[in-house]
Structure 1
Amino acid sequence: MSQTKPRIAIIIGSTRPTRFADKPAAWMLEKAKAHGAFDVELVDLREMDLPFFDEKASNLWMASDNPKALQWQEKIAEFDGYIFVVAEYNHSITGSLKNALDQAYVEWNRKPMAYIGYGGVGAARAIEHLRGIGIELQMVPLRNAVHIAAGSFMAVHPLGENGPMETIENAIAPAAQAMLDELEWWAKATMAARNGQTETS
């Protein structure tokens, strides 16, 4: 098995100018780097400028045509797993994140997906919805997640106390550690399986 570290993308799933996502994304990036098992990169959907999905079919069935969709597929293909930064809109994920997921298929396959969500209930409903989407994309949804909820959310949100993420670290760091440990296991396992499949095909 290769000793190469799994490459992990932290994908910011909101594109609003006033989004809160940058704050937990930066904290998660720091924790993932400190964990030591990964090479980590922040991937911002706002910078990708994806069109609404308008291909003839998913790239499971035929190649995409739109250059920005192809650029997105090439980008996410670089990674061995993903941590999604999840906002909850009306009990689900953002439209921009759903669109980004739909713009690819084969590039997501057989890779683990983790989550850090925020909001009144820590984006629990949105993350549960995202897990179901991930299954359809043949990803490996992790059990563990980081939920920034209720009082912790208001302690760091601009509409509340707007404190630094360190203010709530005691509340969320154990969940982050458990999630990153699980992500390491699945990223290495799926990398080995994909490499074995490539070698025998």
Structure 2
Amino acid sequence: MTWHLSPPESASPEESPVSAKPLLQIIVASTRPGRVGLPVANWLADVARTHDGFDVEIVDLAELDLPFFDEPNHPRLRQYVHQHTIDWSRIVERGDAYVFVTPEYNHSFNAVLKNALDYLSHEWAYKPAGIVSYGGVAAGTRAVQALKPVLAALKLGVVADSVNIPFVFGDIADGVYSPNELVEAGAKAMLDEMRRLSGPLATLREQPAAAG
């Protein structure tokens, strides 16, 4: 399933069916024409469904189309005034874990992802996160290193097992990404670690916040 800016009412947290598995949201960061992030995300979604540790959704930032951050209040207050922020908050709130599928732009991750992260605060906290990066010879690893402290600042539990895909264009044909065995094994290791963390982090989310 791919979320749009205005998710259907039936997908609201109050009306969603109860599931024994946490919900993994695979967030596609790239929005440019000709991007390869969506084929990579579709592959990862198939891997995650086979892994069976999570329910799985794809969240495409190109479809979300958030403007540059335009809320008058700090995200920690959750006093949102724009409908696009309220919709984005609801989507992220229902997620229990996230994988960020990111390109590398000029030795970092892209601005669209940073903007989407900055919109929210509480919604991200105490949930496991993984990163899938792709690119040329560096496989997006410099984007990963730039992204990790941002996720940590949002209190996401970033697992050590990231997936880094070199020369990604050579592994895509007719819009389908076909990984090698090392990439496939790396994805499974990442999902294993995220599943291990999901329970303890869910317990932290249930605890009341400390008084500031």
Q: SS of the residue aligned with 1:172?
A: helix
- Supply the distance in 1 between the matched residues of 2:119 and 2:70 (Cα, whole angstroms): 9
- Supply the distance in 1 between the matched residues of 2:127 and 2:160 (Cα, whole angstroms): 14
- Supply the distance in 1 between the matched residues of 2:187 and 2:122 (Cα, whole angstroms): 28
Give a deviation string over 1:124-154, Cα, whole Å, max 9, x none.
Answer: 111111111011111111100111014xx24
- Supply the distance in 1 between the matched residues of 2:51 and 2:74 (Cα, whole angstroms): 35
State the match for 1:132 in structure 2. 149
- Supply the distance in 2 between the matched residues of 1:170 and 1:164 (Cα, whole angstroms): 16
Select which of 164, 174, 177 maps to 1:147: 164
Select which of 182, 191, 197 maps to 2:202: 191
Aligned residues of 2:125 and 2:205 also touching (Cα < 8 A): no
Within 5 Å, give how 1:1-201 maps onto structure 2.
Answer: 4-120=20-136, 121-150=138-167, 153-157=168-172, 164-166=176-178, 168-195=179-206, 197=207
- Supply the distance in 1 between the matched residues of 2:120 and 2:68 (Cα, whole angstroms): 12
Give a deviation string over 1:164-185, Cα, whole Å, max 9, x none.
Answer: 533x331301111110100101
Q: SS of the residue aligned with 1:60?
A: helix
Q: 1:46 to 1:163 in 2, by over 3 A?
A: closer
Shift in Å at residue 3 of structure 1?
8.0
Q: 1:56 to 1:40 in 2, by over 3 A?
A: same
Q: SS of the residue aligned with 1:54?
A: coil
Q: SS of the residue aligned with 2:76?
A: coil
Q: 1:154 to 1:69 in 2, by over 3 A?
A: same
Q: Which ranges of structure 1 fall in alignment gaps of 5 or more residues?
A: none
Give % identity. Answer: 35
TM normalised by structure 2 equals 0.83
Q: Which ranges of structure 2 fall in alignment gaps of 5 or more residues?
A: 1-17
Q: SS of the residue aligned with 2:77?
A: coil
Shift in Å at residue 4 of structure 1?
2.1
TM normalised by structure 1 equals 0.88
Aligned residues of 1:5 and 1:37 also touching (Cα < 8 A): yes
Q: Which runs of 4+ in 1 moved over 4 A?
A: none
Give a deviation string over 1:29-81, Cα, whole Å, max 9, x none.
Answer: 00011001100100111111211002223220351211101110111000111
- Supply the distance in 1 between the matched residues of 2:31 and 2:115 (Cα, whole angstroms): 12
Q: SS of the residue aligned with 1:107?
A: helix
Query: Root-mean-square deviation (CA), in Å?
Result: 1.9
Give a deviation string over 1:63-106, Cα, whole Å, max 9, x none.
Answer: 12111011101110001110011111111111111110011111
